[in-house]
Structure 1
Amino acid sequence: MKSIELIKKWMQEHPTSIALIKYLILVIFILGIVQLLRKFLQKNLPDTNTRYKSQKGIEVLGYFFILIFSFTYFTGNIKDFALAVGLLTAGITITLQELILSIAGSIYIFFVKVYKPGDRIEINGIKGDVIDIDSVYTTMMEIGEWVTSDNYSGRIVKLSNAFVFRGPVYNYSKDFPFIWDEFNLPIRYGSDIDLAKKIIIQIASDKLSEYVNDSISKWKTVVDKYYIENAQVEPTLAITMTDNWIEFNLRYIVDYKKRRFTKHLLSELIRKEIEKTNGKVSLASSTIEIIKIPKLNIERQNQKT
């Protein structure tokens, strides 16, 4: 009985501490409900996309409810909400600037649709596929670094959502899921240039026809949505005369996830067709011609030890 009386006395003497403890218990209870709902959705929704969006929606609603509850709990009246927001913002802007900016970035990403899970982006010098977006971080599967082309490095990168306000965000898949790629072919002088052009354009047109047809309708959507001119989506070939060879530059459109494979396929097919010409078309390579080797007089002196 004496211990109960001491507890009651302490509660009467420390009303602020009691209020804070009650607040923390209620917040923990709300977070627990959110986690239970997320696990329920995870188990009962078979579709990955629906499950992911539902879980994120529950998480956002939970945070929003905690925010409203916090203000009303400490102010005692919903009418004081605006005043509480102002006071709270003034007090924590400096200390929690990065966190606030990250949360604002997540809201901006969600409503403006800068990118979404599944998109391939480059932000703050990091390129990868977006695999998750929460209220603070964007999680990416990294591409590049020590591996070439568009291969995964295997590292998972967490990037603050605040970076959407600090620099450009390159999106490889939003609105127009195709990119332009190119590579150069050195053709030796004396080759049948018209035959070389025919081989390259024919292979590119045959193998890229699916990408060309799909990209035409997609590009029309981009032109209707943005202030941009129409673009050439069919394969194009440009020829440049150099000191050593005739350089063929093949430019073409390709699915952003198949750039490396498509370049390999085109290179292999073009090489095989050039070999079938029996020397009419030849690939060039860098050569060095030595005009004269100066005479060197080397004297050998034997020293007695």
Structure 2
Amino acid sequence: MDQIKNWIIENPTIYSIAKFILIVIIVFLIIQFLRRYLRKKITETTARYKSQKTVEFIGYVLLVIISFSYFTGNIKDLTLAIGLLSAGIAFTLQELILSIAGSVYIFIVSVYKPGDRIEINGIKGDVIDVDSMYTTMMEIGQWVSSDNYSGRIVKLSNAFVFKGPIYNYSQDFPFIWDEFNIPIRYGSDVELAKSIVVDIASITLSEFTANSKAQWKDVVNKYYIEDAQVDPTLAITLTDNWIQFNLRYIVDYKKRRFTKHELNDSIIKAFEATNGKIILASTTIELVKIPEIKVDINK
């Protein structure tokens, strides 16, 4: 022991470096231990990855502070060091902090809830779960036409409620306006066609119209918005090729595709029952003049 003490007294610099290296090794071992512990305890992939990165970052910041304190003898501006550490932690965990804040915002403000159909960050679907970190959605659309499920379950960070618009199909007013065009050939009985389309729309959409009127009054009372036309409306436009009927109507946001099919099916059957008085149009080409052709046949 006396020899060791004498060696330390004679070589203080080497001893100091060796002591510092030992401290660094201990810190690294603690970081690795915490990373392995978190890897085993946290099952969710993203949370596990972020927690490990956080431990690693805090460890490196701690090493910087220890190094500064060790080689200078003291930290004159401890407040600055703590501030830098806090800023580093906040920067590393900003997505996590935003996600937690987003979940609180979602529940307090009632941005959306499970069962709502929303579009957020370019993804459209039905909300099936909202937790402290993620919103889980059953995706609709993409390669599937109309508002059908694609079959993919999407997990979206709650932080996105602060980063862009959120389209809610069902909050306060679970109805949407839809429309489609019907081409009618010139020469058809336009008045008969109008009455058929309006009658079919009124009968088919009667339930949606009645329910939407009651709920639209609540929307007008709650928000600064004018009263809207919820009854089916028909607009007529004359084009180069046909008379275009535009039917606009209100429908339950989950029954849009089926309702459009039902309306089209009923309308085409009613038109066919008029025995040619109403004919659906298609793109046509009118040949105005045929050029004269002279044929000279020689024997």
Pick from 105, 124, 127 the counterpart of residue 124 of structure 2. 127
Pick from 174, 179, 183 the counterpart of residue 182 of structure 1. 179
Superposition pairs of residues 99-110 of structure 1, within 5 angstroms? 99-110=96-107
Pick from 257, 260, 269 the counterpart of residue 260 of structure 1. 257
- For structure 1, the 5+ residue unaligned runs are 1-16, 32-85, 296-305
Matched, 1:235 2:232: yes
**1:151 matched to which residue of 2?**
148
Matched, 1:162 2:188: no
Deviations 1:174-229 (A, max 9, x none): 00000000000000001111100000000000111110110011001100110000
SS at match of 2:91: coil
Superposition pairs of residues 1-305 of structure 1, within 5 angstroms? 90-289=87-286
Write the letter of the residue equivalent to 2:157.
S
What CA distance in whole angstroms lies between the structure 1 residues aligned with 2:147 and 2:285?
Answer: 34
Using the TM superposition, give the Cα deviation of residue 89 of structure 1 relative to its aligned residue in structure 2, in angstroms.
Answer: 5.4
SS at match of 2:145: coil
Q: CA RMSD in A?
A: 2.7
Write the letter of the residue equivalent to 2:273.
K
What CA distance in whole angstroms lies between the structure 2 residues aligned with 1:109 and 1:177?
Answer: 19
SS at match of 1:93: helix
What CA distance in whole angstroms lies between the structure 1 residues aligned with 2:292 and 2:104?
Answer: 73
TM-score by length of 1: 0.67
Using the TM superposition, give the Cα deviation of residue 90 of structure 1 relative to its aligned residue in structure 2, in angstroms.
Answer: 3.6
Taking structure 1 as reference, are residues 232 and 157 closer, same or farther at Cα in structure 2, changes over 3 Å only? same
Using the TM superposition, give the Cα deviation of residue 288 of structure 1 relative to its aligned residue in structure 2, in angstroms.
Answer: 3.1
What CA distance in whole angstroms lies between the structure 2 residues aligned with 1:147 and 1:88?
Answer: 48
What CA distance in whole angstroms lies between the structure 1 residues aligned with 2:274 and 2:182?
Answer: 16
Write the letter of the residue equivalent to 2:206.
S
Write the letter of the residue equivalent to 2:264.
S
Using the TM superposition, give the Cα deviation of residue 136 of structure 1 relative to its aligned residue in structure 2, in angstroms.
Answer: 1.1
Taking structure 1 as reference, are residues 186 and 107 closer, same or farther at Cα in structure 2, changes over 3 Å only? same
Deviations 1:127-162 (A, max 9, x none): 000001111111000000111001000000011111
- Give identity over the alignment, percent: 74
What CA distance in whole angstroms lies between the structure 1 residues aligned with 2:213 and 2:139?
Answer: 30
What CA distance in whole angstroms lies between the structure 2 residues aligned with 1:289 and 1:138?
Answer: 56
Instruction: Say how many residue pairs are matched.
Output: 221
What CA distance in whole angstroms lies between the structure 1 residues aligned with 2:152 and 2:274?
Answer: 46
Write the letter of the residue equivalent to 1:94.
F
Taking structure 1 as reference, are residues 201 and 91 closer, same or farther at Cα in structure 2, changes over 3 Å only? same
What CA distance in whole angstroms lies between the structure 2 residues aligned with 1:218 and 1:159?
Answer: 30
Write the letter of the residue equivalent to 1:204.
A
Which portions of structure 1, spanning 4 or more consecutive aligned residues, are displaced by more than 4 angstroms? 86-89, 289-295
Write the letter of the residue equivalent to 1:278.
N
Write the letter of the residue equivalent to 2:139.
E
- For structure 2, the 5+ residue unaligned runs are 1-26, 42-82, 294-299
Using the TM superposition, give the Cα deviation of residue 237 of structure 1 relative to its aligned residue in structure 2, in angstroms.
Answer: 0.3
Taking structure 1 as reference, are residues 171 and 289 closer, same or farther at Cα in structure 2, changes over 3 Å only? same
TM-score by length of 2: 0.68
